Amino acid sequence: MTPTLSHSIPFFDYPSLFTSDEEEILSIVRDVGRRGAFILQQDLARFEQNLARYLDARHALGVANATDGLHIALRAAGIGRGDEVIFSSHTMVATAAAIHFAGAIPVPVECGPDHLIDAASAGEAITSRTRAILPTQLNGRTADMDALGALAAKHGLVIVEDAAQALGSRYKGRAAGTFGAAAAISFFPAKVLGCLGDGGAVIANNDDIHDRMLQLRDHGRRSDGEIVSWGLNSRLDNLQAAILDSRLARYPAVVERRRTVARLYRKGLEALEEVTLPPGPDGDAYHFDIYQNYEIEAERRDELKAHLGTFGIGTLVQWGGKAVHQWDSLGFTQRLPYTEKLFKRLLLLPLNMSLSDSDIEQICGAIRAFYRK
């Protein structure tokens, strides 16, 4: 039987990011506005402290977005002109752009079956010019940081993490963003912790790297006003920080709900041979995943997407359907067969706080109906 849906299910419901806590947001706007507290004020400092505490990190700093954050993190970690930086091609172009704008050379490598950087492929890409590995903690999951840490130690490389999608994700109990010299997190509205516009943070445990990031986000300016290097204007707005701080208090419950949705998807889809699901939330004692995305691999992906669309179910092919090295305009020459094959099969199913259990059942029912046809 073909399922019929009582209502459409958009991939993402942007207005709900405001309407779900509208009164609280308006009262924060009034409070911050009446204090005239817009740039580098106490609400930002409080959020930074709470964020660092949540991650068990020594320092967190609000920045304008994670793309700037990665650029700042790389420069603060000493990466610059001519250095090669290895990253997984299954990431946003922002990861490679940050490497490029830090003056370094982005070197794309394969991802593995969990869609995160493949340590063996990273190892094969190391040359005498390699200075850093930049794993993307993709879809809310942390990479195998033991393997990457061993590789980095063996070759004397720095690790900088792209934790844009992974706030609160853990590997062996340790939070994404705290494994390397520095990391960046994104608060883009659709992120699990999203603000009402662009926003991000950088993380570090080392005091010197933190000091450099503090200067780099504010025109290269030291606390005594001296300009000590070229810097960016990349400060997280105090108003956004105040909103994020109120949301951070509720964040663990949000993560739990997303893990529940992942369980429901698994229950509804695991019998299908045509679909490969992301690792389940209860499958592995090493990983705690926050499910920024629910990225499946699907046979006849484009047909499935169109089929779901006819039921009003929104889905998304991440990054416009191309891995970073497949954008000819950027001049990459690498061939990455595993990643290229994978990119014909990837599909994001809806995963957001507006979804009910019955929505997930309906999505799973529509997918099962497609493969039964």
Ligand X SMILES: Cc1ncc(COP(=O)(O)O)c(C=O)c1O
- Residue ranges in contact with ligand X by CB under 6 A: 65-67, 91-92, 94-95, 136, 162, 164-165, 186, 188, 198, 200
- Distance (Å, rounded) from C-alpha 125 to C-alpha 275? 31
Q: Are 358 and 303 in contact (CB under 8 A)?
A: no
Q: Are 279 and 141 in contact (CB under 8 A)?
A: yes
Contacts 24+ apart (CB under 8 A), 104-107: 104/74, 104/79, 104/80, 104/131, 104/132, 105/129, 106/324, 107/334
Q: Name 65's bridge partners.
A: none
Compute the half-sphere exposure of residue 36: CA atoms within 13 Å on the CB side of its CA.
Answer: 0
Shortest spacing between CB 278 and ligand X, in angstroms: 15
Q: Give me the least distance between CB of 77 and ligand X, in Å please.
A: 17
Smallest distance, ligand X to C-beta of residue 268, A: 26
We find the least distance from the C-beta atom of residue 223 to ligand X, in angstroms, to be 26
- Quote the DSSP letter at residue 229: S
**Which one, 70 or 214, has the nearer CB to ligand X?**
70
Rounded-to-integer distance, Cα 339 and Cα 298, Å: 14
Minimum Å gap between C-beta 311 and ligand X is 27
Helix axes 301-310, 357-372, angle to 10 degrees: 130
